[in-house]
Amino acid sequence: MKIPLLLLLLSALSCSGAADSYPPAHNLTWTSINFKTLLSWAPKPSADYSYTVEFSVSGGDRQRIHQCIRSNATECDLSRSLTELKSCYTADVLSEPPLGTTSDLTEFPHSTSPRFCPYQDTDIGRPDFSLNVSQDQQTTTLYVSDPPTALFIGDRQLNIRDVFADDLRYRVKYRKKKSSGIKTLDSGSSVIPMSSLDRGESYCFTVQAYIPSRRTAKQFGEESATKCSGGEERSIFKVFSPAVIAGGLLLIPLTLGLIVTVAIICWKRKRKAAKAGMERRPLRDA
């Protein structure tokens, strides 16, 4: 009876040692921008073990990511695997023997990620846009380019408008070029006419995606770069009336004449004073 008990104890110690050689992953973190979704974790594995990633939709069967099986990487791209965008997922990172080796263990240490819901959680990157000012200076129109995503249907790459459809809006922030007062406008379209601007003024704009159906912390995407309209060149004839301009032109020679007259008077007075001083001076003895 003592020998089987000893063998059982040695077997248990052997399994415990094997398990200890495969430390579990920690700090599992999702990073997702425009549905480019990565799962990362720590630590970097030694040569004695590797990582395998499994994922599942809530309530579904677990699946393995082909490129993340017994890998020494600490990051896995799940962008094309999370196909049910409005569902929520969790992932497990298993600590396993390196590729090409075996182990007596039947169950390996694993760590589970937080829940991730692509439609609700992916960050939206900054959009680009161009602007056009109408000839009559009445309307400035913004043309927003919907940011592309990491998602495809066949060979066609989807943009955020393809995914969010009517849920997607754009928030425009704008101000006069020489002012700090910011106004906002929300639009459900990627073509945004701005017709309430002051004619001839230069304005500056930024644009960001806005998805009202999301929770507050995830409603707004990254702001675009700021772009400004040129504004109408305002000549002196548009700034001042003809009467003011004529008065200004008349004032110039009058001012110059007054300056010259004063200068002459001062010079004459100075000369006269100098002459009078010389006449009062007594003659020197020869």
pLDDT in tens, 115-158: 999 999 999 999 999 999 998 888 999 999 999 999 999 999 99
Do both 57 and 148 map to the same domain?
Answer: no
Quick one: pLDDT band at residue 43, thresholds 50, 70, 90? Answer: very high
**Most distant CA pair in the chain: distance in Å?**
156
For residue 67, what are the domain limits? 23-121
Q: What is the pLDDT of residue 100?
A: 82
Q: Based on the fold, state whether residues 193 and 158 are members of the same structural domain.
A: yes
In a domain, residue 61? The reply is: yes
pLDDT at 233 over 90: no
- Residue at 243 is within a domain: no
Q: Is residue 183 part of a domain?
A: yes
Task: Give the model's confidence band at 211: pLDDT under 50 very low, under 70 low, under 90 confident, else very high.
Answer: very high
Residue 218 has pLDDT above 70, yes or no: yes
Claim to verify: residue 37 and residue 109 sit in the same structural domain: yes
pLDDT value at 283 more than 70 = no
Say what the pLDDT of residue 245 is. 62
Q: What is the DSSP letter of 114?
A: P
Given a cut of 90, whether residue 284 has pLDDT beyond it is no
Distances (CA, A) of 126 to 118, 123, 152, 221, 286: 18, 10, 20, 7, 100
Task: Evaluate whether residue 268 is within a structural domain.
Answer: no
Claim to verify: residue 27 and residue 115 sit in the same structural domain: yes
**pLDDT, tens digit, for every residue of 86-98?**
999 999 999 999 9
- Residue 112 has a pLDDT of 97
Residue 161 resides in a domain: yes
Confidence of residue 25 (pLDDT cuts 50, 70, 90): very high
CATH number for the domain harbouring residue 157: 2.60.40.10
Q: Give the percent of the chain with pLDDT over 70.
A: 81
In a domain, 257, yes or no: no
- pLDDT value for 259: 83
136 with 205, same domain? yes
Based on the fold, state whether residues 116 and 138 are members of the same structural domain. no
pLDDT of 265 above 90:
no
Number of other CB atoms surrounding residue 198 within 10 Å: 10
Look at residue 283 and tell me if it is in a domain.
no
Residue 57 located in a structural domain: yes
Percent of the chain residues topping a pLDDT of 90: 64
Number of structural domains the chain divides into = 2
Q: What is the average pLDDT score of the chain?
A: 85
pLDDT in tens, 187-201: 999 999 999 899 889
Alpha carbon distance 193, 107 (integer Å): 61
Long-range contacts of 195-198 (CB under 8 A, 24+ apart): 195/138, 195/139, 197/139, 197/140
pLDDT at 278 over 70: no
More confident residue, 274 or 89: 89
Mean pLDDT of 97-123: 92
Q: Can you give the pLDDT at residue 242?
A: 63
* Whole-number pLDDT of residue 14: 43
Residues 146 and 175 both lie in one domain: yes
132/218 same-domain check? yes
* Dihedral angle over CA of 249, 252, 258, 261, nearest 10: -110
Pair (94, 152) in one structural domain = no
